[in-house]
Amino acid sequence: MTVVIGLTGGIASGKSTVSDMLRKQGIRVIDADQIAREVVEIGKPAYEQIVKTFGQDILHEDKTINREKLGTLIFSEENKRQQLNKIVHPAVRKEMLKQTEEEKAHQAKIVVLDIPLLFESKLTYMVDEIIVVYVDEETQLKRLMKRNSYSEEEAKIRIGSQLPLKEKAELADEIIHNQGSIEETRAQVHELISKLIGNEETN
């Protein structure tokens, strides 16, 4: 039986680093952000709906979606963000489920769904276990300011738009603490995979 793991965290918590570590261990990772980019490519149903809803102004000259323009538009207006989510989220869910079923058909022991907004988008029903990549608030704030060249105020707004990491950690089955060195994080990932595979083999 395939165990479906939901991997999540907060902005600048290091979830992408953990995701890469899992891939290097040979685990199949299905990336929600990557799928979200693919479902809005030219010719896809979600692309047509977005252009119909938001107009030609959000397109580049080559007709691909200008993410920066669209992002600015939806970040300032909640109703527009909800409109976009209603188009993109169902398309992403459908593709993630399709890819998960393919992995199950190939009898993979573990498949990881990398979903940044796992809790916020109410997608926990798609997974058997939840792993949260955790850092404390101060570390998260400093990392985001450094990574994105944000002011403290900008970083706090971005962090505030998500469920606090502390709350996510309380809802997790497993937590990877990502405040230490890369080696410490890698050791936790390795231990967790061994545990999950071991549990699966004894079931």
Annotation: binding site for ATP: 12-17
d(CA 111, CA 38): 20
CB–CB of 173/5 below 8 Å? Answer: no
Instruction: Let me know the angle formed at the C-alpha of 139 by 149 and 185, rounded to the nearest 5 degrees.
Output: 110
List, as residue ranges, the binding site. Answer: 12-17
What is the largest distance, in Å, between two alpha-carbon atoms of the chain?
A: 56
Within 8 A by CB and 6+ apart from 19, the residues are 7, 29, 31, 112, 114
Name the residue among 38, 72, 36, 66 with its Cα closest to residue 51: 66
Class of residue 156 by CB neighbours under 10 A (exposed 0-12, middle 13-18, buried 19+): middle
- DSSP designation for 173: S
**Coil/strand/helix, residue 6:** strand
